[in-house]
Amino acid sequence: MSTLKINVILFGIGNVGSTLVNQVIESQKFFLDKRNIELRFPIITNSTLAFFEKEGLTNEWEANFEQTAIPFKVEDIIEYVQEQQLENLIAIDATASLEIIKNYIPLVQNGFNIVAANKKANTLAYDFYKELRENLAIFDKTFLYETNVGAGLPVVQTVSDLYFSGEEITKIRGVFSGSLSYIFNRFSAEEISFSKVLAEAENKGYTEPDSREDLSGNDVARKLLVLAREIGFDFEFSDIQITSLLLPNLNEKHSKGDYAINKSFFDKPFEVAKIAQAKNHVLRYVGEFDVKSKKLEVKLVSVPESSALGQLKGADNLIEIYSKSYGEIPIVIQGAGAGKEVTARGVLNDVLKIAEKIKSKEFILN
């Protein structure tokens, strides 16, 4: 059987995108030997420049990008792949950009499958969510986004598989944020101020560059919305009740400078929350979707130390999926929920799933 060549157009070479390229370079021989698949990257872009690779990726790709990348629009990329008659196309969105998302439907209409680490396409207005899926069906293309929730953990796939097997999911609950997991795991277990743990999480690179993004609860809410829509609900982001961890005197309205120097404002209220708990309880910041009541919430809770959520360590995520068949005992998915290596590997896994799907279609046609 001849080798299947997959043409990957990568949008975004930040932490995840650049790690992904290096993972492919390292594993290319393995994919050829074990799966008979060759992953090619004819185009790699950052937010403004595109690098057109003629000879195949090498370990010097970053230097080559700097030397030869040129300004681009997505329309230029669509035109280029058509001129070059490139087939088996997969666009990877490793950005946090809304601009790329605006081009998802044109990409699908021009022969691209899509893999996204970017959560925004699945959390914009439901009308767009629906239109995208209608186009995927019309043009027989695939859109995968496992890393939208839990980085490399198989959360989206598990929820989707249960739903499409006819299982009745009754509740989804968990710690969806690696940064907030780290903060509350340490704050609950140690005699340490909240502001000090927050600063250490920032220094380790666990939080967004502005940690108010994490503390607002919006990121957890987006992940919860992805899963709620995955099981057939047409919720909007505004339907989620978010209890922010930010304070009235320290929130998004203040300057970044004010926020940076006044983090000690967090210490007293969180110390009070810690002391006010029942014995042998710990604080956790969770997202919860109660399917029966159709209630989506993001909030700080107190749970027993002995519970699955109470035993979390490090920056792990833990998601509990309750369903009719499994009763009171949930399916629990736990592991590293953040980090460029695990996220890039999750994106790569989605790419390989689409490659196998393309291979199966070619086998049927031949």
Active site residues: 223
Alpha-carbon distance 230 to 199, whole Å? 35
Helix (H) or strand (E) holding 43: strand 37-45
Q: In 3-state terms, what secondary structure has residue 4? A: strand
Tokens encoding 320: 């509990």
Amino acid at 287: G
Q: In 3-state terms, what secondary structure has residue 153? A: coil
Give the residue from 64, 51, 54 showing the smallest Cα distance to 11.
51
Tokens encoding 363: 């086998």
* Lookup result for tokens 């502005």: 210
* DSSP assignment string, 165-186: TT--EEEEEEE--HHHHHHHHH
- Enter the DSSP assignment of 278: P
Alpha-carbon distance 94 to 174, whole Å? 25
Q: Do residues 74 and 105 make contact, with C-beta atoms less than 8 angstroms apart? A: no
Q: In 3-state terms, what secondary structure has residue 334? A: strand
Give me the torsion for CA of 150, 132, 351, 140, rounded to 10°. 140
